Amino acid sequence: MKLTTKGRFAVTAMLDIALHDPEQYVTIAAIGERRHLSSAYLEQIFGKLRRAGLLEGIRGPTGGYRLSKPADQITVMQILDAVDASLEKSVCEKDRDCCDGEGECITFDLWDRLNEEMRRFLSGITLKGLAEQKLLKDQGIQKISIVRNLTEKSQTTPH
């Protein structure tokens, strides 16, 4: 199972916006530069996110995009569904003759259940949760760097 590129880009861009002040508009160019994503591709994705009611945008020099509702009300699954980038289907499809050539694939139910579990899992992850995780991780990295710098200084300072 894997996500499409469009889906990964959409989640990345939405998280980037969620990490900003909710009242602030963020430009596609800024997101593209920070996340190393194509601005042209992001424009296509943002159109779908806007039509799905997940983003709102304004034009002009102070324009850009922001979340149209609180980050705790937007799930990863909603983002993927909005850009038509839901999980790629499993190998088996119910209406396709495969495997033994005698009708439904013998492992269809397994892959179908896996798809359902992944949808349920991604429906439980909000942008707010991802943003909090990112911020905590960044703070942890900063703490490690500070401790490392203090340790290095104490080791190089003569006693």
Q: Work out the pLDDT band at 1, boundaries 50, 70, 90.
A: low
Confidence of residue 117 (pLDDT cuts 50, 70, 90): very high
Torsion sign, CA atoms 138, 42, 30, 25: negative
Residues of the chain with CATH 1.10.10.10: 5-87
pLDDT value for 87: 64
Query: 97 pLDDT band (50/70/90 cuts)?
Result: low
* 2.70.98.60, 1.10.420.10, 3.40.140.10, 1.10.10.10: CATH of 5-87: 1.10.10.10
- Check residues 148 and 119 and name the one with the higher pLDDT: 119
